Amino acid sequence: MPEKMPTRAPRLGLLIMLLSVGSAVGLGVAFFAVLGNVPNPQRLMTPMVVTMPPQLTGSIEARVAAADPSKGAAVFEKYACNACHRAEDGVGPALTGMGKRAALRRPNYSPAAYIYESIIEPNAFIVPDYANVMVSNYKAKISEVELFDLIAWLLQQ
């Protein structure tokens, strides 16, 4: 009887090995399936990637320069930004001085690029001492023309 024992242990070992190889392959397949579904940044609302490497900020600058800041206040109201951003600090940072602060928040970001990212991908950077509560679906709602008019106006605040 005892001589049968040794044959069982290797079989169990083989089974465990096969199971772990199988689950590793399964995980790999799941991983690539998820990766494959990540939207191509080029398909997002603008041709820029959302969290922009500094070398892409130039095109945001150009669009902001071509925008109409005098229309920005209306966009700010239309999308109820003023529910959280008033003259003074409140739920969100103050509107007053936003343009100047935008230059200081993220290294290597132009002020326009920072404001762009703050609106389109608010979770990319959370202003210290604030809660992560900003509405995060503006990229689905706001038109490009509105967005750049809004950014141009915010830079003047």
Residues 124-143 that bind ligand HEC (CB under 6 A): 126-127, 130-135, 138
Give the gyration radius of the chain's Cα atoms: 25
Cβ-Cβ contacts under 8 Å for 56 (sequence gap 6 or more): 48, 49, 113
Count residues contacting ligand HEC (CB under 6 A)? 27
- Pick from 98, 104, 65: nearest CA to 81: 98
Which positions from 34 to 73 touch ligand HEC by CB under 6 A, shown as an x/- string?
A: ----------------------------------------
Please check whether residue 111 is in contact with residue 151, taking contact to mean a CB–CB distance below 8 angstroms: no
Residue numbers of the site for ligand HEC (CB under 6 A)?
A: 79-81, 83-85, 91-93, 98, 101, 105, 115, 118-119, 122, 126-127, 130-135, 138, 150, 154
